[in-house]
Structure 1
Amino acid sequence: MVKVIARDRADVLGEGLFWDARAGKLLWTDILGKRVNRLAPETGEVESWEMPDVTGWIIGAETGGYVAGIGRSIARVSLDPFSVETIADIPGQTSINRVNDAAADPEGRLWLGTMPFSCDVPTGGFWRFDGEVSRADATPYTIPNGPAIDPAGCFLLHTDSAMGVIFRYALEDGQLGERQPFIAFEDGWGSPDGMTFDAEGHLWVACWGASCLTRFSPEGVPVRRIELPASQISNCVFGGADLDRMFVTSSANGVDEKHGGALFEIDPGVCGVPAFLYRG
């Protein structure tokens, strides 16, 4: 069963999901709408904050509050009361680029992508932030997405949605190993976008353009597909007190769909793992 979360607006480009276990609430961003949203699942209340620039993601900080990718920078964010403080600029970014997706690893480092607004030239990159921003991978990216770190912190998955391939890197002491193709999307699968692991080690991938989520085995084989009533599915995360619910974002940008830009809730039939926090 797919539930559409009731609210008074659709996301231009919903993304950046984070389950805040401390508050029992879900956060996500509307990148192009320049907003951070927060859902209280028990009451259905949805709150929204206007941000100073496009906002790709928001992740809990171990010291309290959040960090977020805003424009071409990383910022500390408080929602209660609201404040934004830039803590780092991503080097070499011009006005044609913006932040996209990100994830924290077990050591509290951030892994994040930048990409062009146009989505059609490889001016983006993949970055690590551990108090300083450094290039994680020298490869140029067009639409960097994912990233997802396995629960043990042994490897990282990342994708360039424009290529339709999910790559795997060994992860050791904050350094990435050689980039290896892991899952090459076939015709009809859509493009790989946001992703997350479940407690059984399977990977859930938002399939942009294919109106679905796909669950892949640890070997990269598709084992389940959940259809959703929007074509541009952008990200997914486990939530709820037992991490047994899944929330899914979508985009209304460029499409005329009843549920384009909606936030969905589904019963995945498995549990997730707790989100890693930023430790800086």
Structure 2
Amino acid sequence: MLGEGVMWSARDNAVYWVDILGCSINRIFLDNGGIERFAQPDYAAWVIERAAGGLVAGIGRSIYRLDLPANARELIGNVEPDKHSNRLNDAKADWQGRIWAGTVPVSCDKPTGSFYRIAPDGAVTLADTPYTIANGPAIDPLGRFLLLTDSALRTIFRFEIGDDGTLGMRRPFICFEADWGVPDGMTLDEEGGIWVACWGAGCVTRFTSAGRRDRSIPLPASQVTSCAFAGTELNRMFVTSARDDAGGKLGGALFEVDPGCRGLAPSAYRG
């Protein structure tokens, strides 16, 4: 229904992704194409590898350690426990093993969401607010900056990151034109290029490190939601999508495209 949060696991030789509205975590093994789906008790927002083994997942407004295939969950903490109309959205781990995660109103129509930093000990810190649809963080592997989208504003913002994890001023970095779609999930390649899933435009688009629109890869689904590099050479790209209300047959599918470049290995959570 709403594919999101695609993530490569070298440890499992698998690609993970979530179906937020379908409340499931999914994985496909790249050696044999086998697919598994694991039902969750609430909106499945994201999944990230743990350095100690297993996974960490954002479910509803809660953060869990997750062991598969048993689908066993251990609660780490909660985000916005009093905001019952909100849920977790996109998240990524950084070079220090922290998680950066956004929240959105389930209705996606008002600025009640925020952006949080989750430490390895489970402590949750408000990093920035407000957001209507906090989406697709992408984090410099050297820890210099962080990119974050508010899809409702069609803008990707850039933040400097302090040594203590605090964010600098929110600065507009890429403002989407009308025919570019809406920026959603994103990832970085090894040259510093920024790959953005373009909701409503049926493509993933690469921007240079300076924010200049470079090229796009079209997909047979209009609502494209997230992208990640995968494979032992990190030269394969997997892309999620959402079911198309107009009836598109491939809306909601997971795609693989050839990006023509290599990506960066994802960081793991150290909690």
User: What TM-score results when the alignment is normalised by the length of structure 1?
Assistant: 0.94
The whole-number CA distance in structure 2 between the counterparts of 1:53 and 1:181 is: 33
Of residues 247, 252, 262 in structure 2, which corresponds to 1:256? 247
Q: What's the offset of the Cα at 1:229?
A: 0.5
The whole-number CA distance in structure 1 between the counterparts of 2:263 and 2:244 is: 29
Q: Does 1:236 align with 2:227?
A: yes
Residue identity opposite 1:155 in structure 2? F
Q: Does 1:62 align with 2:68?
A: no
Q: What's the offset of the Cα at 1:85?
A: 1.5
Q: Does 1:216 align with 2:207?
A: yes
Residue identity opposite 1:257 in structure 2? G
Residue identity opposite 2:40 in structure 1? M
Distance 1:274 1:78, change over 3 A: same
The whole-number CA distance in structure 1 between the counterparts of 2:244 and 2:61 is: 21
Question: Gapped runs of 5+ residues in structure 1?
Answer: 1-11
Percent identical residues: 54
The whole-number CA distance in structure 1 between the counterparts of 2:244 and 2:206 is: 25
Q: Does 1:80 align with 2:69?
A: yes
Q: What's the offset of the Cα at 1:253?
A: 5.5
The whole-number CA distance in structure 2 between the counterparts of 1:224 and 1:14 is: 23
Runs of 4+ displaced beyond 6 Å = none
Q: What secondary structure sits across from 2:180 in the alignment?
A: coil
**Paired residues of 2:221 and 2:244 also in contact (CA < 8 A):** no
The whole-number CA distance in structure 2 between the counterparts of 1:275 and 1:221 is: 24
Q: What's the offset of the Cα at 1:278?
A: 0.3
Partner of 1:39: 28
Q: What's the offset of the Cα at 1:94?
A: 2.2
Q: Which has the higher contact order (CA 8 A, sep 6+)?
A: 1
The whole-number CA distance in structure 2 between the counterparts of 1:82 and 1:190 is: 36
Mapping of 1:1-280 within 5 angstroms?
12-130=1-119, 131-137=122-128, 139-173=129-163, 174-252=165-243, 254-280=245-271
The whole-number CA distance in structure 1 between the counterparts of 2:74 and 2:244 is: 28
Q: What's the offset of the Cα at 1:91?
A: 2.9
Q: What secondary structure sits across from 2:222 in the alignment?
A: coil
The whole-number CA distance in structure 1 between the counterparts of 2:244 and 2:12 is: 30
Q: Deviations over 1:89-110 (max 9, x none)?
A: 1135422111110001100010
The whole-number CA distance in structure 2 between the counterparts of 1:200 and 1:75 is: 33
